[in-house]
Structure 1
Amino acid sequence: MKNILETFAYRDEAEGALGRHSGLLASLILLLVALPMVQYVAGGGGEARFPALLALVLVAAVVVNSHQRWTFIAGGVIAGASVLGSVYAEINDATTVRLVSDMLGLTLLGFTTLIMLNSLLQAMDVSMDTVIGGICVYLLIGLCFAVFFILLNDLEPGSFLRDGEAILRSKSDSSDHATALLYFSFVTLTTLGYGDTTPSGDMAQMFAVSEAVIGQLYLTILIAKLVGLYVSQRRQSPESKP
């Protein structure tokens, strides 16, 4: 596994992953910005808005994983199965298919996060690619936990509360609870402090704490890494020599 990650990190650096990372960053920002906007414009409708926006992120994740043919094919199959499963589940209200679809999407997002994080930690200099990759990993962590919380809430309804009431999947708007849990995930990741949405189940509370810890450790390690690389670059640059 370590050799595979190192190979991917080398290919990222050698081939220049700026384009791939930029597309992923754009899709992640679009998901966060467009999700509430579509809900507002649709007047609370737009049931398929979360699966549709998540599909764009999955496609971008496949592009990021196109280092080798087998990873591109595997990522494409997983993303395709997840998207088709989401469409089928939305049309037929198939709970089992929806769960499997979300699990597949989470698998691809988690793998992409791991690959990009490894590439970031092995970077030897600070470039725009490094910065974009770092932002993507941070947003992917929040999205991965959001999808996991959606799965958990489907398996154990009532694991999360909003204004003291359980957050449940609505048949009239199946994306409403996804929006709430995406919001909850990033509030947890950034440690803003809970307000209207809180975890209520033991499992939900445990993973919420885990996400907060991971978020803080990631920022600490990333900043230390970037500062260290920047200082090293400054010392080695011709302009800094007397």
Structure 2
Amino acid sequence: MMPCRRKIAIRDTGEGITMAPSRRVLEAAALLRLGSMAFLLFVLILSVFVAPVVIPPESALGQIVEDFLISLMLVSGAIAVSDRRYAVIPLGIVAVVFTAVRWTGGFAQAEMTPTIRAAALLFALAILALVIAIKVFGKGAKVRDRLWGAIALYMLLGVIWAVAYEFVSLRMPGAYTGIEPGGKGQAYQWIWIYFSFSTLTTVGYGDITPVARIARSLSNMEALIGQLYPAIVLARLVSLPAEDTRDDEES
């Protein structure tokens, strides 16, 4: 039995054959998803390299900008994976919950507020990383989608571990040495970004040292992922032509 193929509606306008509106809508949606993946990478670059330098993270404005940029990450990530409904719905729910917790927590003065905000951020970024990983390593994505997504996912892993270090430091004061007083305020300040990416890239300047067992375990895990990730991404990209050829033969 011959496999069933989807028919594409074609319209003859007398001046040539043009694509039906449904095809144009699909192409526009694909371009929007690709642009959203690139925008996600752009927002990550702003959050990691620009915002902590331009705006003091400890200030109220820094906290607002941080929450705004993370909200943009979640929205752009949801659009980027909008072709996968099973990923969009959970990410959309997480985005709403995160926005409520972070923005209301930003105006609260309770002692546990920084910990709750960090936990909400950690959960939201973990879900975002999961759906981006599905997009990057799953089937059906364009090569450009995979490239932008792979870079964004790598940076996102660094941010996630920065939040994890922040959370551990809030729950276990003294888990890290070399942290200046007041350096463990709102979730993922520049000092945790710095420590996380120096660990992810295995640079390890030695100015900040994990001393608690869970802190050391997190650092070892991040360093291992930082070494394995480029090899895994490269292997996945190399395998794409073979998969495309096999799919064409099966169809």
TM-score (norm 1): 0.73
Residues 19 and 84 of structure 1: is their aligned pair in 2 closer, same or farther, counting only changes over 3 Å? same
Residue 112 of structure 2 aligns to a residue in which SS? Answer: helix
Q: Which has the higher contact order (CA 8 A, sep 6+)?
A: 1
TM-score (norm 2): 0.71
1:123-146 CA deviation, whole Å, 9 max, x = no partner? 478721121111111111111111
Percent identity over the alignment is 28
The yes-or-no answer on 1:58 pairing with 2:84 is no
* Matching residue within 122, 141, 147 for 2:163: 147
User: How many Å separate the matches in 2 of 1:44 and 1:111?
Assistant: 26
Match of 1:110 in 2: 126
Residue 146 of structure 1 aligns to a residue in which SS? Answer: helix
Match of 1:91 in 2: 107
CA shift, 1:90, in A, is 2.8
CA shift, 1:67, in A, is 4.1
The yes-or-no answer on 1:208 pairing with 2:219 is yes
The yes-or-no answer on 1:169 pairing with 2:170 is no
User: How many Å separate the matches in 1 of 2:81 and 2:140?
Assistant: 21
Aligned residues: 214
Residue 158 of structure 1 aligns to a residue in which SS? Answer: coil
The yes-or-no answer on 1:199 pairing with 2:210 is yes
Name stretches of at least 5 consecutive residues in structure 2 with no aligned partner.
1-28, 247-251
1:158-202 CA deviation, whole Å, 9 max, x = no partner? 222336x566434xxx46x62111111111111112332222221
Question: Which amino acid in 1 is paired with 2:212?
Answer: G
User: How many Å separate the matches in 2 of 1:199 and 1:146?
Assistant: 13
Match of 1:227 in 2: 238
Paired residues of 1:142 and 1:185 also in contact (CA < 8 A): yes
Paired residues of 1:160 and 1:198 also in contact (CA < 8 A): yes
Paired residues of 1:86 and 1:98 also in contact (CA < 8 A): no
Residues 98 and 63 of structure 1: is their aligned pair in 2 closer, same or farther, counting only changes over 3 Å? farther
Residues 78 and 118 of structure 1: is their aligned pair in 2 closer, same or farther, counting only changes over 3 Å? closer
Task: Give 1 or 2 for the bigger CA radius of gyration.
Answer: 2
Residues 91 and 44 of structure 1: is their aligned pair in 2 closer, same or farther, counting only changes over 3 Å? closer
CA shift, 1:37, in A, is 2.5
CA shift, 1:83, in A, is 2.7
The yes-or-no answer on 1:187 pairing with 2:192 is no
The yes-or-no answer on 1:217 pairing with 2:228 is yes
Question: Which amino acid in 2 is paired with 1:208?
Answer: S
Paired residues of 1:78 and 1:104 also in contact (CA < 8 A): no
1:4-56 CA deviation, whole Å, 9 max, x = no partner? xxxxxxxxxxx7441231121121111112222223xx597444143333232
The yes-or-no answer on 1:75 pairing with 2:86 is no
Higher helix residue share: 1
Question: Which amino acid in 2 is paired with 1:184?
Answer: F
Question: Which amino acid in 2 is paired with 1:205?
Answer: R
Residues 109 and 44 of structure 1: is their aligned pair in 2 closer, same or farther, counting only changes over 3 Å? closer
Match of 2:54 in 1: 38
